[in-house]
Structure 1
Amino acid sequence: MSINLISKDFGEKFYSLLDSTEKQINIISPFIGLKTAFGLAEWIESQDNIKCCIITRFNREEFIRGASSIEGLEHLVRAGAELYALQNLHTKLYIFDDQSVIMGSANFTFSGFYKNHEFGLYMENESDFTKQCQDYFDGLLGKLKSDGDWKISLERILRERHYVNESIKNLKGKKGLNEFNIAKWGAVLNDVPQPTPPNGDETDILEDAISDITVNSGKTGIWLKFEGTSQARIRNDEVYLKRKRRINEYVNRTFFPRKPTGIKAGDTIFLTVVSKDKDGIEVPIIIGYAEAKGFIESNKINDTDSKYLKWNNRFPYYIEYTNGKFLNDSIMYGISLNELYRELNHKVYPATVNQPNIKIENIKKRHHQKSHIQITEFAKEYLIKKLNLLFDKHGYEEL
């Protein structure tokens, strides 16, 4: 599991993940800012069949003081987002499709995303942990719905805007806005942590969910990049670059179903073919490595390209690579991913490197259904040494 700390640029990370979101985004945030709400509303309106669900607070005092924006809620509802009100909410959670998550201290406001000193975690292309977070979101939403009708309607928002505007007008000229408006609306769930007195500590509702996770404080920039799928494995008697030329494919590109924004220029990628080993066992095979040029927004193929292939309908995004070195023999003679697991065990992935007792069966599951996954320096060193031995034996081609 690739888990990374984030202490700044929450907004940059949010929008980079939003760009690759295709089906739904779910948000839990006590406060909703006008600028962030307007930006998300515009994005929702520009998409086809996108779903957005948000759990937030609906407290008049917070609208009056500008901590949250009633106008922002209006933009979101008009764009088609579903909003629900929950009192005493403290959690901040952002879920993108079934792949990526941001969670931490940052509210969905401009200050939370760009100005405040915030801290959190983000997990990109991590379906297992994202599912746990989605299960939490669904469970909370289910309890909220069963408690009553707490969906925030446009009618309620327009009515609330009237009261908020009147309250702000009445407070003009009153020093310090000392009058407090107690009006609030939303579900009250007993199992949601209650706010503590001023200057006290608050308990985050997801604290237990991450207490046993070893956090990777930075990216390694080393990736396994899978080509082929479990439903359409590449024949193991093919030679990697010769096959690409035979099917009229770009030899210096590798394709993705989503924007691979995590891969940066200078990163190392190990090309890993979903195939079979010499014994006919279905397993990904590592056949070479290269230096990534990094993903840019223009890296998207379409049917106007002379080398366009029909299967790229599913994998439209790509990165280019250079300084490549690839096995010049059948794929089956490469390095089986099972071998890598057997030799390095918990040292294959950054998130398991400090978990020596983790079962190898659990380690093997980490790459399932992924187009690419980050690995450790240990794994890179092993693969380079082993590939060089294989190059000496079977030959290689540089690119």
Structure 2
Amino acid sequence: MSIDLISSNHCQEFIQDFSNTKNSLKIITPYLSFISIKKLLLNISKDVQIELITRFNREDFISGASNLEALKLLNKRNVRMEAVKNLHTKLYLFDTKIAITGSANLTENGLLNNIELSLLIKNEKKLNVAFQHYFDNAFSSANNFAITGEKISLEKEMVERMIQERKDKNIDSKNTYQWGADISTGADISTTDTIDIVQSQVKEREQAKSKNSQTTYWLKFDGTGSELKDPNLPFDKTKLADGQVVENFGKKKHPSGIKKGDVLYLTPLSKNDNDNSHTPFIVGKAISDGFDKNNVVTDADINREGYKWMEKWPYYIKIHNVQLIKENISEGASLNQLLSILKNNFYSSTKGKNLSLPDLKKCHLQKSHIRITAEAAQYIDSLLGFK
């Protein structure tokens, strides 16, 4: 049994402990670098099960503080990874006998360049049990925020786009998007008071929850299964004869639940060019003026060229502050991909449930609109650059 300080040679100690690990490795680190992860993976047996908790903040990837290629490398190694917001803890558990906790991240700076200080704890049963308990509870609390290959690929596209936009437009403002579990400091995730996975942000979270509770978010579908929108064309806003921009609804599907101020994500039903499968794409965002039973199209609206379809979709909601992607429909956010990332946290009706992905993909069928969570709305905004 021993507790020692590591004030230098973090890299040497980590390589040695990685090499000696036989069964499991559990890691909590806010930042990772590709070189450090590659070097450490070369020194660990392929039979070792690895689990990771880390941050997933866009600005970290843009600035280079953390690295998506490192996550991609870990994903190829079948490492189970979960994302947590406001993460600051650094904890490394080698089997159930050795623990390292301190200031060092899994980066070149953390292991080689910076002045870091960590505790190396060996065969201290009581402490190691507490560390294992801490990690396992934090990992399970974040189980709806798995970092998958699809999630990494989508984020890489966004980061590359943001970097290019900053170069083109000379933008220096930071991107505030962060994705991950929001673990309350009040949660019982540790048996000790010496480690805190997130700093207290209770007031900020409550304010965010209050704001989100006042706004409802919807996907509004355009088209039908037999009348798909061409994925290789841009999405056109629907207007009445007087020029008012609207979203239409069928005779049997009055949108009475959509209130003034609700957010509608414009989602044409289209198809995937790769396999010709039916795929809704989110291409726009608008603010609703709310449902009014008197909002019914007139003959003047229907008799225009190309608007005969309004006879079947006579009810409408006026919308404003419309934002659309500039590209074709197929460049929008694929609903199927979003469901594979956010899973049961995407729809309000499935949050807290455990539906399979095939069942989630059926939730929107035969619907003109469906409610989504604030988390899903935030993710869509970040992905498509909506305000």
TM-score, structure 1 normalization: 0.46
